């Protein structure tokens, strides 16, 4: 019998900045950011299209050669959050409607994705993709994707980024990557959106020592994540956007240290599914 749940959160990629495959990252994974969130009745939203989305695309097509509508919410357009898109088989092979949700106008979203898949950077032009593509600009208004409700909010990150609160059946997941703490207005908004969440996935790329020389780069720390989790009354904190230089042993130490600040802490592990 399948496990009852309200939301199933699958981590397809949890690495920041650049993929980092190798023997030292086997447990936490080397693919860049991609999270799949689905409801009990099968509705699904995808957050970001890092290199982890390639495997998700293959899984979706194996389950159904003509998958249902795909709603892809992009936090922003930095390379590590869109680099898997040219290898997302439902987009390339067709048979699906793919709706891109992003923080810029539909025209600009399409233009940015077209630039990624253009000569001399890629062999297949974005306009040659066979899926039916649609584009939506996110705002503070709630977007309904079947049984799932998604609300966007701005994050403090160079050139801008958006976080998302995803809800279904009374469960709530907040995805806040990429984000740097220290912006009073946006920090307050983040805490408001994260209030009472069952799970918060938060950018914790740097240790406190590393952050001292990386302030302004657009990323946060595990200790800052623990403060947000406590202030917002989050039930579980998931550290994510792992630095490419942080191997599995480093991640184990970061999690152990963060547990002393917020006991209900885990780190995102590629391939893991969390049922809420």
Q: What is the pLDDT of residues 139-174, one digit of tens each?
A: 999 999 999 999 999 999 999 999 999 999 999 999
Domain assignment of residue 1, yes or no: no
Percent of the chain predicted with pLDDT > 70 = 99
Q: Which of 75, 263, 49 is nearest to 174 (CA)?
A: 75
Alpha-carbon distance values, 273 to 10, 190, 202, 261 (Å): 4, 24, 16, 24
Mean pLDDT of 32-45: 96
When the pLDDT of each residue in the chain is averaged and rounded to a whole number, the result is 96
Domain assignment of residue 2, yes or no: no
Which structural domain range is residue 70 located in? 7-275
Tokens of 252: 């184990």
Predicted model pTM = 0.96
Would you say 117 and 124 are in contact if contact means Cβ atoms under 8 Å apart?
Answer: yes
Q: How many domains does the chain have?
A: 1
Query: How would residue 259 be classed by pLDDT, with cut points 50, 70 and 90?
Result: very high
Which range (62-66, 122-126, 270-274) has the least confidence?
Answer: 62-66
Domain assignment of residue 96, yes or no: yes
Provide the CATH number for the domain around residue 104: 3.60.15.10
Helical packing angle, 248-259 and 222-232, nearest 10°: 40
Parallel/antiparallel/unpaired status of strands 237-240 and 265-267: parallel
């Amino acid at each position: 019998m399948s496990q009852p749940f309200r939301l199933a959160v699958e981590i397809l990629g949890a690495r920041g900045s650049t993929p980092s495959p190798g023997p030292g990252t086997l447990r936490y994974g080397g693919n860049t950011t991609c999270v799949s969130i689905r409801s009990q009745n099968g509705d699904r939203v995808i957050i970001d299209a890092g290199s982890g989305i390639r495997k998700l695309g293959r899984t979706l097509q194996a389950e159904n050669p003509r998958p249902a509508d795909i709603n892809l919410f992009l936090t922003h357009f930095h390379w590590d959050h869109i680099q898997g898109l040219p290898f997302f088989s439902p987009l390339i092979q067709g048979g699906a409607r793919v709706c891109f949700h992003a923080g810029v106008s539909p025209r600009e979203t399409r233009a940015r994705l077209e630039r990624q898949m253009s000569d001399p950077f890629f062999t297949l032009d974005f306009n040659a993709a066979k899926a039916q593509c649609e584009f939506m600009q996110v705002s503070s208004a709630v977007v309904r994707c079947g049984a799932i409700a998604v609300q966007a909010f701005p994050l403090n990150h160079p050139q801008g980024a958006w976080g998302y609160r995803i809800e279904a059946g009374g469960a709530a997941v907040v995805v806040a990557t990429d984000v740097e703490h220290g912006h009073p207005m946006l920090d307050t908004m983040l805490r408001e959106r994260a209030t009472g969440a069952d799970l918060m996935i938060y950018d914790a790329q740097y240790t406190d020592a590393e952050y001292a020389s990386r302030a302004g780069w657009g990323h946060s720390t595990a200790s800052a994540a623990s403060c947000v989790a406590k202030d917002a009354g989050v039930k579980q904190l998931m550290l994510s956007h792992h630095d490419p230089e942080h191997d599995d042993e480093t991640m184990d130490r970061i999690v152990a240290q963060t547990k002393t600040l917020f006991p209900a802490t885990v780190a995102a592990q590629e391939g893991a599914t969390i049922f809420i």
